[in-house]
């Protein structure tokens, strides 16, 4: 199959939402329709029900939340669908922000009862900065919730999106009867006990009297609401969606498998095929013959038995081939990959080739960092992969002196994933972990114990901010290092970091040493 044909077959998207809106449940049901799994899992698991495919880490199963992005690929109607299920919890937003650089479109899940929640606002803001096409799925229609018009108004105001409904609910909660699919002019009736729903009943003209036969007295209300929606919201046009100008909205209940097939069938018709990416040097088109791709995520111990580290690479252009040498831009040398993998959460299969839009896992012996670029020799640096300055800090101490090697290795590998940053005090040699969310400390502690057999404890440290320091004035830099030695640390690259214990300390240092630059992201 030609490169262009392979590109046209692919759809790569992320599912994002506030925690508990039903994001992972929706992912499971999409996998079910794609035949990728046989039984959909429950996120909040008990001993009988299967846990969600995308929540495969031990701590995710215990907590019922996603703490790392999962990648899942499956075929559906001769198309290759790549889903990235992201963490909803704000403490893991950094993982989600990076994931958004690797996708071409997004599905936002909103709880019908809670409406637009804070984390959803933050994530949609990132999508809007990139004009990423967005589809909204309003979930949990089988429970009481907000009026459809009120919800759409809330989405427009809080998320700054122009919406157009492509399906419409007939009541909700205990009176929920189904949805009318505006996109393909069909009626879908809700039966909560069914695992698979039947084809919709075609209604090109909802004024047909037969409508009453299916939904009774709600027929008049549906006609009235659809007429009103037609007048209020813009007509759907694919180009407007692809440019980010409008967002289609679907209603359903992921838990009950309702509205999911309609969402998927519409998505594969309108969603973008893989798009190019901006490198510092130029724009890279997916149809270019030469391979290029970038690392947006690293994960250690996907298989705890093998202590493996995998770098997730989004293919931007050309054809990736197994055992072919590719140029690692930062290291300046060629690397070969004998067992590149495709994913179904933590289940992996070796691939011989992959195409733009695909996510490939490369086994990593410490060669990769987030943001690295691979090419066939051209010097390209893909940009826009965010790195955040930590906001919370703790000293990390070894709780078991017999396991110091395991602790060092665990800290090294887990901080390579980008979940936290590791600093070493210059004067004391003490290790300091910096994160963007408090829950990250718990995840690191849990993973160190269960994946590396190392136990650690945390001790408080009074820190306001960390800043990387550089200067062309060597004398001033040396003076600063001498006077502030007890407030200096190294990062993993052995770069100098200033540990400011208060806003005043940072401001004073900036004023007193004007030739020193204080960097608040690690990319400079």
Which DSSP state fits 258? B
Cβ 287 vs Cβ 297: under 8 Å: no
Contacts of the segment 423-426: beta carbons below 8 A, 24+ positions apart: 423/466, 423/489, 423/490, 423/491, 423/497, 423/499, 424/489, 424/490, 425/488, 425/489, 425/499, 426/485, 426/488, 426/489, 426/490
CA dist 203 → 214, 262, 324, 382 (Å): 11, 15, 54, 48
CA dist 362 → 298, 318, 369 (Å): 9, 17, 12
Contacts of 15 (CB under 8 A, 6+ apart): 23, 26, 27, 83, 84, 85, 86, 106, 107, 109
Which of 27, 13, 108 is closest to 60 using CA atoms? Answer: 27
Look at strands 186-189 and 178-181 and give their pairing: antiparallel
Q: How far is CA 336 from the centre of its chain?
A: 28
Q: Which two tokens stand for residue 135?
A: 């589809």
Q: How far apart are CA 491 and CA 420, in angstroms?
A: 12
Cβ 166 vs Cβ 236: under 8 Å: yes
What pLDDT tens digit does each residue of the chain (524 aa) get?
689 999 999 999 988 888 788 877 888 888 887 765 444 444 433 333 344 444 434 544 444 444 445 678 888 888 999 888 776 445 455 667 777 888 999 999 999 999 998 878 878 887 887 789 999 999 999 899 999 999 999 999 999 999 999 999 998 888 888 888 888 888 888 876 555 555 678 777 788 888 888 888 888 899 999 999 989 999 999 999 999 899 999 999 988 888 888 899 899 999 999 999 989 999 999 999 999 999 988 876 655 555 567 888 999 999 999 999 999 999 999 999 988 888 654 456 788 899 999 989 898 877 888 889 999 999 998 876 656 667 789 999 999 888 999 899 888 877 777 778 899 999 899 999 988 777 778 888 888 888 888 999 999 999 998 889 999 999 999 999 999 999 999 988 888 999 999 999 999 999 999 999 998 876 54
Full DSSP string of 369-382: -TT-EEESS----B
pTM for the predicted model, two decimal places: 0.77
Which of 232, 248, 269, 237 is closest to 108 using CA atoms? Answer: 248
Could you give all domains of the chain from N- to C-terminal order, each with its CATH number?
Answer: 13-73+85-270 (3.40.50.300), 277-375 (3.40.50.300), 392-519 (3.30.70.3280)
Q: Give the three-state DSSP class for 165.
A: strand
Q: Give the three-state DSSP class for 500.
A: strand
Which DSSP state fits 447? H
Q: How far apart are CA 120 and CA 130, in angstroms?
A: 16
């Amino acid at each position: 199959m030609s490169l262009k044909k392979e590109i046209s077959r692919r759809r790569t998207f992320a599912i994002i939402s506030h925690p508990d809106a039903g994001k992972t449940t929706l992912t499971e049901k999409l996998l079910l329709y794609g035949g990728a799994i046989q039984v959909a899992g429950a996120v909040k698991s008990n001993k009988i029900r299967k846990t969600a495919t995308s929540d495969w880490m031990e701590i995710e199963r215990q907590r019922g939340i996603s703490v790392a992005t999962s990648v899942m690929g499956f075929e559906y109607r001769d198309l290759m669908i790549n889903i990235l299920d992201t963490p909803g919890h704000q403490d893991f937003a950094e993982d989600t922000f990076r994931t958004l650089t690797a996708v071409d479109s997004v599905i936002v899940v909103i709880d019908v009862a809670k409406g637009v929640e804070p984390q959803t606002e933050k994530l949609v803001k990132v999508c809007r900065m990139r004009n990423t096409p967005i589809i909204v799925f309003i979930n949990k229609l089988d429970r009481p919730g907000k009026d459809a018009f009120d919800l759409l108004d809330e989405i427009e105001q809080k998320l700054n999106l122009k919406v157009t409904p492509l399906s419409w609910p007939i009541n909700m909660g205990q009176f929920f009867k189904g949805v009318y699919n505006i996109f393909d002019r069909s009626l879908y009736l809700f039966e909560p006990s069914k695992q698979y729903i039947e084809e919709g009943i075609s209604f090109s003209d909802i004024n047909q009297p037969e409508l009453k036969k299916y939904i009774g007295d709600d027929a008049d209300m549906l006609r009235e609401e659809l007429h009103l929606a037609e007048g209020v919201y813009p007509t759907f046009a694919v180009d407007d969606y692809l440019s980010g100008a409008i967002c289609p909205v679907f209603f359903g209940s992921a838990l009950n498998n309702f509205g999911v097939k309609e969402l998927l069938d519409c998505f594969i018709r309108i969603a973008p095929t893989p798009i190019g990416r901006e490198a510092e040097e130029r724009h890279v088109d997916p149809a270019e013959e030469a391979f290029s791709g970038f690392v947006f995520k690293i994960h250690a111990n996907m298989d705890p038995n093998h202590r493996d580290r995998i770098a997730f690479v989004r293919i931007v252009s050309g054809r990736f081939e197994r055992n072919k040498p590719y140029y690692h831009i930062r290291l300046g040398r060629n690397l070969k990959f004998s067992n590149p993998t495709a994913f179904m959460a933590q289940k992996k299969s070796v691939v011989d080739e992959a195409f733009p839009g695909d996510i490939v896992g490369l086994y990593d012996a410490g060669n990769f960092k987030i943001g690295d670029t691979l090419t066939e020799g051209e010097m390209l640096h893909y940009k826009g992969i965010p790195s955040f300055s930590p906001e919370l800090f703790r000293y990390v101490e070894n709780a078991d002196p017999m396991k110091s090697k395991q602790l060092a290795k665990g800290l090294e590998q887990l901080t390579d994933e980008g979940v936290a940053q590791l600093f070493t005090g210059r004067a004391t040699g003490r290790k300091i972990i910096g994160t963007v969310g408090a829950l990250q400390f718990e995840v690191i502690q849990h993973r160190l114990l269960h994946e590396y057999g190392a136990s650690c404890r945390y001790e408080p440290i009074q820190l306001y901010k960390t800043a990387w320091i550089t200067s062309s004035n060597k004398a001033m830099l040396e003076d600063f290092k001498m006077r502030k030695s007890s407030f200096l640390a190294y990062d993993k690259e052995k770069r100098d970091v200033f540990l400011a214990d208060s806003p005043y300390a940072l401001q004073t240092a900036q004023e007193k040493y004007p030739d020193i630059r204080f960097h608040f992201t690690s990319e400079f």
